[in-house]
Amino acid sequence: MQYFGYGSNMLASQMAQRCPDARPGHVGELAGWRFLINERGVATITVDPSSTVFGQLWKVGPGDVMALDEYEGVATGNYERRILDVVPEGHDPEPVIVYVDARTTPGLPRAGYLEKILIGAAEFGLPDDYQAFLRSFEG
């Protein structure tokens, strides 16, 4: 299975703690969605035909998915686990796990949260213009 991390789960050190068996794959593109920081101060995505979200694909096993469900608060309604078509760099679209928070009212990032996203984006070489877009959430 593959998981698409577009927020703080792009950070390799965080994923190593949360999902020790996860292995990084390609950078991925999710067309038709837009990244935002919501009123809870965390990343989510919302449908937007004119946008694309970039992130890191991770190869995960069933135990990793259970851990992600817990960390993302699926049981408490914080995020919903979905299967969306993501395009891995240089490949055809593939169905992958993506966590989406339905709350899309813009907000400010929690203390230290955006820094994790920015480090992860740099770590995996997301496009420079997309990294600049992420930095725009610094406020």
pLDDT in tens, 20-79: 999 999 999 999 999 999 999 999 999 999 999 999 999 999 999 999 999 999 999 999
pLDDT in tens, 66-120: 999 999 999 999 999 999 999 999 899 999 999 999 999 999 999 999 999 999 9
139 confidence band (pLDDT: 50, 70, 90): low
Burial of 102 (0-12, 13-18, 19+ CB in 10 A): exposed
CA distance 69 to 105: 23
- Bridge partners for 4 per DSSP: 57
Strands 2-5 and 80-88: unpaired
Q: Which residues contact 87 (CB under 8 A, 6 or more apart)?
A: 28, 29, 30, 31, 93, 94
Contact indicator for 10, 123 with CB cutoff of 8 Å = yes
Query: Which CATH homologous superfamily contains domain 2-138?
Result: Gamma-glutamyl cyclotransferase-like (3.10.490.10)
Domain positions in the chain: 2-138
| DSSP H helices in the chain | 12-18, 62-71, 113-123, 128-135
CA distance 80 to 23: 22
pLDDT at 131 (0 to 100): 97
In this prediction the pTM is: 0.95
Residue 19 vs residues 5, 72, 118: alpha-carbon distances, Å: 12, 12, 20
pLDDT at 118 (0 to 100): 97
138 confidence band (pLDDT: 50, 70, 90): confident
